[in-house]
Amino acid sequence: MKAEAKVQEKRRKKLISPGRRGQTLFLTVMLVVPIVQWAIFWLYVNIQTILLGFQTKVGEWSFNNFKMLFYELGTAGSNINTAVLNTLRYFATNVCVIMVLALIISYFMFRQIKGVRAFRIIFYLPAIISAVAMTTVFDNFIAPTGPVGYIFELMGKEAPEFLADSSTATSTILFYTVWTGFGTNILLFTGAMSRVPMSVLESAKLDGAGMGREIVSIILPLIWPTISTLLILNCTSIFSASGPILLFTSGRFDTTTIGYWIFDMVYNYNSYNMVSAAGLFFTCIGVPFIMLVRWLIEKIPAVEY
């Protein structure tokens, strides 16, 4: 039996062509490069940070950081609790508002409305201008002494301080992120739509398809690879979605997010251990969520053209 097994093994090796061996070697080398890069530039760099989550400030091994984190998350009104809720609001805004509006705007640009080139520049301009300049202009615009305050005075009402009130500060920053968040999405969507064959659209028009049917049955399926890619990229930032918190409020008035909370804990309190535990916890939640979203997206068949 052993002799027969050896003979079969030799035959199998002979059947493997040199080209197949070369392809296997090439794929192995190509996989080794990113694995080594990940081990050196991510694992080696972050291993100490990961271990900090299981240590106290004096270096003792403990799970107290996770206990404190869970306690803060379960306490209504706590700083980390507010940060999580605000972060999820930014994530939902990016996915449900900015992407949808960018898709609609891109479609009208694709249909060559009047002034399409000017609109393309206007929507992409906030992505070019410095964030410091944009936030300063926006802050002065909505200030009680700015144009918005002047409008309230004309209406006989007292001008509110949108960024200095807990009930309006986060909503105001969310509005700012929507106003300045179209650029990249529009650029990608219009690029994908420009590849749609005009013959398909003309055929649909001859068949009596209206604008709504054209979007749902033709445009969306044909640019689905671009949409799915953006969805997955947005999902990877579910716990890092944020707005310019530091430039607007520095986390005051219940505007903090997880990203700013991490910055604040490290910069002002040197609390590396708590931040490390929080990072591990949110990673353990985020990775399965991303994999689930990717699995669901891959269930939708892509259209090739």
Mean per-residue pLDDT for 233-252? 91
DSSP code per residue over 163-211? GG-TTTHHHHHHHHHHHH--HHHHHHHHHHHTTS-HHHHHHHHHTT--H
Rounded to an integer, what distance in angstroms lies between the CA atom of residue 242 and that of residue 173? 9
Amino acid 241 reads: A
The phi, psi pair for 237, rounded to 5°, reads: -105, 30
Whether the per-residue pLDDT at 149 is higher than 80: the answer is yes
pLDDT band at 32 (very low <50, low <70, confident <90, very high): confident
What pLDDT, on the 0 to 100 scale, is given for residue 173?
Answer: 95
User: Over 77-90, what HEC string results?
Assistant: CCHHHHHHHHHHHH
β-pair partners for 61: 55
pLDDT band at 11 (very low <50, low <70, confident <90, very high): low
Whether the per-residue pLDDT at 300 is higher than 80: the answer is yes
Rounded to an integer, what distance in angstroms lies between the CA atom of residue 222 and that of residue 106? 14
Whether the per-residue pLDDT at 193 is higher than 80: the answer is yes
- Report yes or no: 270 and 62 within 8 Å, Cβ to Cβ: no
pLDDT band at 198 (very low <50, low <70, confident <90, very high): confident
Rounded to an integer, what distance in angstroms lies between the CA atom of residue 255 and that of residue 86? 7
> pLDDT digit string (tens) for 199-215?
888 888 887 878 888 88
What pLDDT, on the 0 to 100 scale, is given for residue 91?
Answer: 95
- Report yes or no: 66 and 53 within 8 Å, Cβ to Cβ: yes
What pLDDT, on the 0 to 100 scale, is given for residue 184?
Answer: 84
**Helix-helix angle 99-110:183-193, to 10 degrees:** 50
Rounded to an integer, what distance in angstroms lies between the CA atom of residue 92 and that of residue 240? 12
Number of Cβ within a 10 Å radius of residue 295: 9
- Report yes or no: 236 and 65 within 8 Å, Cβ to Cβ: no
Mean per-residue pLDDT for 161-175? 92
Containing 14, the helix (H) or strand (E) segment is helix 2-15
Rounded to an integer, what distance in angstroms lies between the CA atom of residue 114 and that of residue 76? 51
Closest to 303 measured CA to CA, from 228, 205, 233, 235: 228
Rounded to 10 degrees, the C-alpha dihedral 262/268/269/273 comes to 30
Mean per-residue pLDDT for 276-298? 92
pLDDT averaged over the chain? 86
Q: Which residues touch 204 (CB under 8 Å, ≥6 apart)?
A: 213, 214, 217, 218
Q: How many helices (H) and strands (E) does the chain have?
A: 18, 0
Question: Above pLDDT 70, what percent of the chain?
Answer: 93
> pLDDT digit string (tens) for 57-82?
888 898 999 999 999 888 888 899 99
Rounded to an integer, what distance in angstroms lies between the CA atom of residue 103 and that of residue 186? 7
